[in-house]
Amino acid sequence: MCEECGCGEGNQVVDVGEDILRENLKFAAHNREHLDEHGVFSVELISAPGSGKTSLIEALSDHLGGIGIAVIEGDIETARDAERIRAKGIPAFQLTTGGACHLDARLVHGALHHLSLDGVKLLFIENVGNLVCPAAFRLGAHQRWVILSVPEGDDKPAKYPRAFREATVFIVNKADLLPHMEFDLGRVNQEALSLNPYLKAFTVSAKTGEGIPELAEHLRSSLKISG
């Protein structure tokens, strides 16, 4: 018996070379295709619970007049977030995982069957509040935003590297609390950018509206580029 890998004689060895999370990747690719076919640009939001994902969508929607928006909400339980979005006149579909701590591409695929994309140009997918697990499960969105709020502390990027590496936009939310917290904006941005030099960083307050017009402008440019 081979000592290196335990193989025995007479056995057939097959080289496979397949990603173990292949099924999720397949669904993610399918979701992206579906969105592209309908001319929809999609943004996935990930963060710890309570960082302000839903509030950010609400705040942005006030600056995106004329752009058809839809939202897929992800939570373990309740439809609270979808209800908030619908109260703003935006169609929302709530996914409840019942226990799973992250959305996966198959769940989003299911949601897309229940959401009309007629007239929709922008789809937000709000993941379950969690800075760990969502990172590894691509949903097929065009852009992934990672959000960190001021009360969470400025040392988080290095503690949750994958979440920051798998995103293209980094948003510090609750900037209105900066005067009351020991949060070093320079430090957090430097740390996030050394993990992922391609991150576009924004500092906002969904509550006061600070920084929201700039973020909305980024979205509008992204929409234009995607055609």
Q: Is 9 in the site for other proteins (CB under 8 A)?
A: no
Contact, 95 vs 111, CB < 8 A? Answer: yes
Contact, 119 vs 199, CB < 8 A? Answer: no
Using the minimum distance from each CB to other proteins, give the nearer residue, 179 or 186: 186
In a 13 Å sphere around the CA of 166, the CA atoms on its Cβ side amount to 19
According to CB under 8 A, which residues from 130 to 159 bind other proteins? 132-133, 135-136, 158
CA 80, CA 83: separation in Å to the nearest integer? 5
According to CB under 8 A, which residues from 207 to 226 bind other proteins? none
According to CB under 8 A, which residues from 156 to 185 bind other proteins? 158, 161-162, 165
Using the minimum distance from each CB to other proteins, give the nearer residue, 87 or 158: 158
Using the minimum distance from each CB to other proteins, give the nearer residue, 2 or 225: 2
Residue partners of 180: CB distance under 8 A and separation at least 6: none
Contact, 131 vs 48, CB < 8 A? Answer: yes
Q: Is 66 in the site for other proteins (CB under 8 A)?
A: no
Phi and psi dihedrals of 29, rounded to 5?
A: -65, -40
Q: Is 61 in the site for other proteins (CB under 8 A)?
A: no
Q: Is 98 in the site for other proteins (CB under 8 A)?
A: no
CA 117, CA 112: separation in Å to the nearest integer? 8
Among 3, 17, 118, 227, binds other proteins (CB under 8 A): 17
CA 178, CA 151: separation in Å to the nearest integer? 9
Q: Is 23 in the site for other proteins (CB under 8 A)?
A: yes
What residues line the site for other proteins (CB under 8 A)?
5-8, 10-23, 132-133, 135-136, 158, 161-162, 165, 193-198
